[in-house]
Amino acid sequence: MSNFTIIKNGGVTTPSGFSASGITAGLKKSGNKDMALIFSEVPANAAGAFTTSLFPAAPVVLAKDTLKTNNKFQAVIINSGIANACTGKQGLKDAEKMAELTASELKIEPEEVFVSSTGRIGTHLPMDIITNGIELAVKHLSTDGGSDAAAAIMTTDTTPKEVCVSLNLNGNTVHIGGIAKGAGMIAPSMKVPHATMLSYITTDADIESTLLSSLLQNAVSGSFNRVTVDGDMSTNDTVIIMANGKAGNTTLTAESPEISKFTEALDYVMQYLAKAIVYDAEGATKFVTVQVKNAKFAKDAELCADAISNSLLCKTAWFGGDPNWGRVLAAAGYSGASFNPAKVDLFYNDKPVVIHGEDAGTEEAELEEVLKNKEFTLTLDLNDGDCSYRMWTNDITYEYVKINAEYHT
Amino acid sequence: MSNFTIIKNGGVTTPSGFSASGITAGLKKSGNKDMALIFSEVPANAAGAFTTSLFPAAPVVLAKDTLKTNNKFQAVIINSGIANACTGKQGLKDAEKMAELTASELKIEPEEVFVSSTGRIGTHLPMDIITNGIELAVKHLSTDGGSDAAAAIMTTDTTPKEVCVSLNLNGNTVHIGGIAKGAGMIAPSMKVPHATMLSYITTDADIESTLLSSLLQNAVSGSFNRVTVDGDMSTNDTVIIMANGKAGNTTLTAESPEISKFTEALDYVMQYLAKAIVYDAEGATKFVTVQVKNAKFAKDAELCADAISNSLLCKTAWFGGDPNWGRVLAAAGYSGASFNPAKVDLFYNDKPVVIHGEDAGTEEAELEEVLKNKEFTLTLDLNDGDCSYRMWTNDITYEYVKINAEYHT
């Protein structure tokens, strides 16, 4: 039994003291919502995890820079449609201007504002539209605004992604809410700290700043860094958490016994959002859990899981419902992982596919049945140690090609 | 001007002393040719380069093992349709049996026979069909049989791939011929020695054995290891060269001044075949040369070229004719290469796309014109040193997904 409760229809504004909005500024041809604002009525401890790309977008550069000297934040302003990436000095000025405008409207300091952008790379932000959008976003701030914010950060997503849980910490009810966006250009970055899409987590827990940062990093490596849609890491990947302490609990520190409860709830929230991204993967029809077990070293398990999850041949076979296990073993074989091929077992759900590196003899029809499911688990057992790694991924379909061949924003 | 002449319609049987055949044994439902034999009437110096997969197919294991104690070969027997990979001890026995049967029919020793297989992984070879096929292949050996062999090794290929050149070495005419197959599961292995599909090179040059081996490795790293279709390396990748000395030239050694001429011709043959694989890439509509220039270290150029060539987002954008350069920079950014993003220039053919990490201001329509070509070159200039790396790749299309979702052999 878990130590937390899922709050139906909850999101980033369910935790006390948070409001949010999602509005149409006019950045998208579709006229869909394109700017979001999340606001904490009091300064919140904050931490972030960001893309490790050598071309980080301007807002990522700004956020990382601001976090060097400040970890108290009150707002996140986000636009979708334009990524403000590969936009040079002007791009950085535009990101700074977004922080200033938001701060000015909210009567706070620019250093207390996170800026995020997502969308087309290489295009400058139309700052007149952004300026109006910020005014509008502040005007529409509401304690019911979480869903609007979730909708406004979408690009090729087909559904907004939000979640909230509550838990009891020594008599105080604490909430953790989150939203995320992402459906393509999704891959783990393989480095720490790292992140792989946009996600914003709010909590009314009172939690010490350094601890918050390390809990975020741990949660990211078990959630957003475990999903891959197409192996392409973005220039804008960002996960931000703000903890405003409005729940009134005794401040959580590295020594608090309640940390495990909080961690469990935070992991749930972030894994829920990470999985939601894979469920919504561009054009995908399958959700596949790739579990690699009993590797000698953690790195070997990770390399195998990563190669299988990103193999185009595996991903198209899953789409075709083809139990072609040769492609799975081939991917493990070229992954760079070290293991003994003669010891390897492979299972599709509970059906043995390969035993000791050879065909297990299960009827093809039985394996095809497994692959007909919308979700299945592929378990590669290296029988060589006790290290494991798990990834969530999806198939690659005609629709994926269509979306990405035709996505001229 | 090059030092060699391309021989129209030439192939592996153009060099003196080689015969070949390609026949239908009955391994493919289609009834297409499925077994090939290449035979040298005298023992030939031989060398090979093979997949670095941890799951090498049985014939790869056998060939590498035989090459440890012997480098004089007279024959290569190849079947398509079944890969004899992940087939355990029985698979190895079957590969050995193929060598024995071929040797017996040809009245040579099993250690003088290379065995290759390509096709579905995890299935055992039907040895009765193989046995009849070997008999038939020997019966059909002909000095005009090169094209039949090229056809018989195809799986998802749409065209056979063969080439031959001649060159003059101190008054003697020497030939280098080759065939190859491959249209998917194609990626460089990133290790040396390595190879990435099936290719067989014959030459009537007299060339010293150790030299032959090192020339092959060099030629592989500039040809087959520079192409990627889908990033999936196969369990069966094999390149074999046989040099039978029938041209009567003075034996080429490491000290011969003619080596550069021979190398130039061999490089041409292998690059021709490697490019032919990309031209025939499953469902591809574009041939893209990815050229990374002026990296500080060779590894940085290679990492960038590899990430761009394998990026699903780049490959689908090329299919869509979308000049989306953000995806190219994003791929370079996550490649793991080290460079200064503010120094980076990007060109599509000769059109500047990015200068110093930002939009070069070239009209979108001009860039779209470049991408309308069946072939174009993308040049990423890191302006950070003098190391280069070049890859040949292709777009990913609906047809690729179709072929690989529906390829149930």
H/E stretch holding B50 reads strand B35-50
**Are the Cβ atoms of A341 and B54 closer than 8 angstroms?**
yes
Dihedral sign of CA atoms B310, B314, B318, B320 in order: positive
Lowest pLDDT segment from A172-186, A261-275, B52-66, B281-295:
A172-186
Domain boundaries, chain A: 4-279, 287-405
**A387-394: strand order across its sheet:** A358-359, A351-355, A345-348, A375-381, A287-295, A387-394
* pLDDT at B190 (0 to 100): 32
Q: How many residues does chain B have?
A: 409
CB B110 within 8 A of CB B74: no
Helix orientation angle between A127-139 and A88-106, rounded to the nearest 10 degrees: 30
Residue in B234, B355, B404, B406 to test binding to A, most A beta-carbons within 10 Å:
B404
Q: Is A196 a catalytic residue?
A: yes
What distances in angstroms separate CA B368 from CA B290, B381, B398, one per listed residue?
17, 20, 20
Q: Residues A13, A118, A196, A393: which is the catalytic one?
A: A196
Token representation of residue B149:
């062999």
Helix (H, G, I), strand (E, B) or coil at A212: helix
Would you say residue A188 has pLDDT above 60?
A: no
Residue of B nearest to A84 (CA): B326
Burial A37-75 (b: 16+ CB within 10 A, else e): bbbbeebbbbbbbbbbbbbbbbbbbbbeebbeeebbbbb
Determine, for residues A316 and B401 on separate chains, whether the beta-carbon distance falls below 8 Å: yes
Chain B residue with minimum CA distance to A397: B401
Angle between the A58-69 and A88-106 helix axes, to the nearest 10 degrees? 60
pLDDT in tens, A287-307: 999 999 999 999 999 999 999
pLDDT of residue A193: 30
Query: What are the pLDDT digits (tens) for B101-151?
Result: 999 999 999 999 999 999 888 889 999 999 999 999 999 999 999 999 999
Positions in chain B whose pLDDT score sits under 50: 188-196, 409
**What's the CATH fold of domain B287-405?**
Ubiquitin-like (UB roll) (3.10.20)
Q: Cβ B330–A232 below 8 Å, yes or no?
A: yes
Contacts B362 to A, Cβ<8 Å? none
pLDDT of residue A106: 98
Residue-averaged pLDDT of chain A: 92
Residues in chain A: 409
**What's the confidence (pLDDT) of residue A187?**
57
What single string gives the DSSP state of each residue in B70-111?
A: --EEEEEEEEEEE---S-HHHHHHHHHHHHHHHHHHHTS-GG
> pLDDT tens, A57-103?
999 999 999 999 999 999 999 999 999 999 999 999 999 999 999 99
The residues, ordered by sequence, that sit 6+ positions from A186 with a Cβ below 8 Å of its Cβ are A196, A197, A227, A228, A229, A230, A232, A233, A234, A277, A278, A281
* First-to-last C-alpha distance (Å) of chain A: 45
Backbone angles phi, psi at A64, to 5 degrees: -65, -40
Contact by Cβ (8 Å): B118, B80: yes
Place of tokens 């060589």: A384
pLDDT surpasses 50 at A343? yes
Instruction: Report which of A341, A350, A354 is spatially closest to residue A304, judged by C-alpha positions.
Output: A341
CB A214 within 8 A of CB A185: no
Taken in order B321, B325, B328, B334, is the CA torsion positive or negative?
negative
In degrees, rounded to 5, the angle at the alpha carbon of residue B176 between the alpha carbons of residues B170 and B178 is 175
- Chain A residues in contact with B51 (beta carbon < 8 A): 334
B83 interaction partners in chain A (CB closer than 8 Å):
326
Distance, CA of B354 to CA of B360 (rounded, Å): 5
User: What pLDDT digit, counting tens, does each position of A347-381 carry?
Assistant: 999 999 999 999 999 999 999 999 999 999 999 99
Instruction: Identify the CA nearest to A237 among candidates A13, A61, A91.
Output: A61
Fold of A4-279: L-amino peptidase D-ALA esterase/amidase (3.60.70)
Give the tens place of pLDDT for each residue, B23-67. Answer: 999 999 899 999 999 999 999 999 999 988 888 999 999 999 999
Q: What is the pTM of this model?
A: 0.86
- C-alpha pair distances (Å), A382 with each of A65, A387, B133, B386: 42, 9, 37, 42
Q: From the candidates B196, B228, B238, B379, which is the catalytic residue?
A: B196
Can you name the residues that pair with A352 across neighbouring β-strands?
A347
The verdict on ipTM greater than 0.95 is no
pLDDT score for B214: 95
